[in-house]
Amino acid sequence: MAAQYDVVVIGSGPGGYVAAIRASQLGLKAAVVERDALGGICLNWGCIPTKALLRSAEIYETLHRLDEYGLKAEKVSFDAEAVVTRSRNVAAQLSNGVKFLMKKNKIDVIEGTGRLAGEGRVAVETKDGKTSEIAARNIILATGARARVLPGLEPDGKTIWTYREAMVPKAIPKSLIVVGSGAIGIEFASFYRAFGAEVTVVEVLDRILPVEDEEISKEAARAFKKRGIRILTGAQIGKTDVSGNGAKMTVTVGGKSETLEAEKIISAVGIVGNVENIGIEKAGVKIEKTHIVVNEWLETGAKGIYAIGDLVGPPWLAHKASHEGILAVERIAGVKGVHPIDPRRIPGCTYSTPQVASVGLTEAKAKEQGYEVRVGRFPFRANGKAIALGETEGFVKTVFDARTGELLGAHMIGAEVTELIQGYGIAMTLESTEAELMQAVFPHPTLSEMMGEAVLDAYGRVLHT
């Protein structure tokens, strides 16, 4: 007889394993089906190990600025293999941590590839080809996504890389083309530039980091160019030739064509959902643009089947997936007071140098939606802590509804802004207005003071500029 569960989660990424933990907390018998390492792409090949790489790059760059701090060091160098090994060890440590959490919460981990096998049933195929079935009153699909492939730019693992190959280089290439300027592309551009690679970013849209506020994108482009990263926007990509030693790519910008040459190309042009071979067609689950269609409760429309995370579309963020997993399980358990997720309150972060972070509406989006806005800005160069840190590049921007004082959005670029943004995220969740934010006391000296000043600036009360 098939094993019986209240909830079976297919996929153990930050959405899947969190969903299973919450199910266990609510007294539901839960299992996770995983074909690879616990923690999914994010923990093993994305969010966490990339930040380990970027931390090494950040320290290496700082070591070349020691004279600014009255310090000296000679013969500063790096070991690419050791940098990668540290990153992989960090990923392994956290994957083992998820394994511990599964055991602690009495969640069964079933190794193999899961797929829907009919109402209330999941088939699991192990690596040796054997298949068994388990029964579940509810099934949560959390199979994630993979890199999108552009025709003519198919990754070969040798010259054209996806994020996987880019994370484990045997050596730092002397030159690199990054196609795509979203968070993934920009982070890799920043990492490789820090270690001396000549980097060119190619973006088909008219600006880099296109989901960010336009002022942030402009400042980011200026900062990256200052670091020596070449940026080509509004670009049309022509023929790519990898037949020789390295790669040649024809790019047209403003009617002018040129051939870029580099040792490697990183393709970072988005992701597609892992919807294949999981049995959703027969289950009646609807798919649009490679992603599963769900309602505000993450229900697919098929009885007892939910979907979460990258599988259901943007924003493609680990923390969004985790909250979706919790929401789906609490919906299953009938928890009272559960609310759908407001995507405007989900922060987004890019861990480049400088960092970029945002939450809510951009100024342009707010105006498009009919808001009359009040906008505040405060520069890093006017903040005491930023000056003391030697990190004076960047600014904080706030966008308010001029009529009600509601905080509509916040946008940042500069040192450690990925740690600061959640302050605005909490404010938006609490539906704070400028009145509450002006009453908040920010400690001195901290970078967070800029958050308060950016609020004051929107209302003509800024103190330090």
Instruction: Provide the annotated active-site residues.
Output: 444
Spell out the alpha helix ranges (H) of 284-416. 318-333, 363-368, 384-389
Q: DSSP string covering 46-62, please?
A: SHHHHHHHHHHHHHHHH
The Cα–Cα gap between 93 and 164 comes to 18
Cis peptide before 315 (omega within 30 of 0): yes
Running DSSP on this structure, what letter comes out for residue 268? -
Structure tokens that stand for 178 in this block: 């990054």
> How far is CA 16 from its chain centroid?
16
Residue 424's contacts (CB-CB under 8 Å, 6 or more residues apart) are: 347, 359, 360, 398, 407, 410, 451
Amino acid of residue 215: E
Element (H, E) at 317: none
> How far is CA 460 from its chain centroid?
34
Reported for 435-438, long-range contacts at CB under 8 A and 24+ positions apart, including other chains, are: 435/405, 437/407
The Cα–Cα gap between 423 and 374 comes to 19
The Cα–Cα gap between 139 and 332 comes to 10
Element (H, E) at 226: helix 214-226
Amino acid of residue 210: P
3-state secondary structure of 257: strand
The Cα–Cα gap between 447 and 112 comes to 47
The Cα–Cα gap between 8 and 107 comes to 10
Query: For residues 424 and 410, is the Cβ–Cβ distance under 8 A?
Result: yes
The Cα–Cα gap between 7 and 419 comes to 34
